[in-house]
Amino acid sequence: MEKFVINLIGTYLNVLSHISGDYAAKKALHIFSKPRKGSLKAQQIAFLNSARKENLIYENFKIATYHWKGDKSTILLVHGWESNSARWKNKIHHFIAEGFNIVALDAPAHGASGSKLFNALLYSEFINVVAQKYNPEVIIGHSVGGMAAVFFQQKYQLSSLNKLVLLGAPSEFETILKNYIQLLGYNRKIEKHLHRIILRKFGAKPSEFSTSKFSKNIETEGLIIHDIKDMIIPYSDAKLINQSLKNSNLISTQGLGHSLNSTSVTKDIIKFLKK
């Protein structure tokens, strides 16, 4: 059924592109930028309710934050696509046991945060607002949250930040966009107009939004953890980032998938933080 819907959307916009390529591409970008909102389970709600909640503001958007107070370094947790702060539950329990001060935020258009649409640049601005309040020594980003964390640090160079952990993070936005275009079966006309719209809207070509390229200007010590058989973000992306992030180490896992929701990964992170 899902494949049928995907094919239907692709066919509809391809037909529409012959009337207006720009309009069809705007629709395609809207679909690309709009995450599905899943409902939180009772256990997830109870866990988030154990934190001190506070809403911060970026422009007109609400940023939902969660704070578990501790006496040691402050860790800022940045989740990925179609997720929310509850995804960190298992890791947070370990971090709390170690005495860390934990802050998590919901991304734009995710969880309890504002905005109807998502992009990594907007997410990086959300991160900046939270970082200015809490001055984290550590940021841990999963998937596109890792990309947004790199975009943030490259732009703002937060002086308090001394460690950056990237879990299953993508490197090239252009590759993500290309995969989306192939998945929906968009024609060359939509692809061409998509590139134009992104250039107009964000002031740069898709190829310029690159975690590995942005990493070159970051001195922060980094830990990259990526599963060799990650089916969402290829392992080659981790190697690209590792080559660019000067002071970084790459840990390769096998069988943990894209989520990397494993105690072994948490132990590797804690070991890195205690160095």
Name the helix (H) or strand (E) containing 89: helix 89-97
Does 237 share its domain with 221?
yes
pLDDT in tens, 111-148: 999 999 999 999 999 999 999 999 999 999 999 999 99
pLDDT at 86 over 70: yes
Does 74 share its domain with 8?
no
Name the helix (H) or strand (E) containing 137: none
pLDDT band at 3 (very low <50, low <70, confident <90, very high): confident
Does 140 share its domain with 214?
yes
> What are the residues whose beta carbons fall under 8 Å from the beta carbon of 138, sequence distance 6 or more?
73, 74, 75, 76, 100, 161, 162, 163, 164, 165, 273
Q: Within 13 Å, how many C-alpha atoms sit on residue 119's CB side?
A: 14
pLDDT in tens, 223-247: 999 999 999 999 999 999 999 999 9
Q: Among 204, 224, 254, which residue terminates a domain?
A: 204
pLDDT at 275 over 90: no
Does 98 share its domain with 190?
no
Mean pLDDT of 95-108: 98
Does 3 share its domain with 68?
no
Number of domains in the chain: 2
Query: Residue 248's domain is classified under what CATH number?
Result: 3.40.50.1820
pLDDT band at 1 (very low <50, low <70, confident <90, very high): low
Mean pLDDT of 23-38: 92
Does 134 share its domain with 233?
yes
DSSP state of 72: S
Look up the domain containing 16 and give its range: 1-33+173-204
Does 4 share its domain with 78?
no
Q: Check: CB of residue 67 under 8 Å from CB of residue 102.
A: yes
Does 185 share its domain with 162?
no
- The secondary structure of 191-249, three-state, reads HHHHHHHHHHHHCCCHHHCEHHHHHCCCCCEEEEEEECCCCCCCHHHHHHHHHHCCCEE
Using CB atoms within 10 Å of the CB of residue 111, give its burial: 0 to 12 exposed, 13 to 18 middle, 19+ buried: buried
pLDDT of amino acid 17: 93
pLDDT in tens, 158-196: 999 999 999 999 999 999 999 999 999 999 999 999 999
Does 86 share its domain with 159?
yes
Does 1 share its domain with 106?
no
In whole angstroms, give the CA distance from residue 240 to residue 244.
7
Return the number of other C-beta atoms located less than 10 Å from residue 258's C-beta: 17
Q: Within 13 Å, how many C-alpha atoms sit on residue 5's CB side?
A: 3
Mean pLDDT of 9-27: 93
Does 215 share its domain with 200?
no
Taking alpha carbons only, the member of 198, 216, 215 closest to residue 207 is 198
pLDDT at 201 over 60: yes
Kindly report the average pLDDT of the chain as a whole number. Answer: 96
pTM: 0.95
pLDDT at 37 over 90: no
In whole angstroms, give the CA distance from residue 9 to residue 2.
11
Q: Among 187, 204, 221, which residue terminates a domain?
A: 204
Does 20 share its domain with 81?
no
pLDDT band at 6 (very low <50, low <70, confident <90, very high): confident
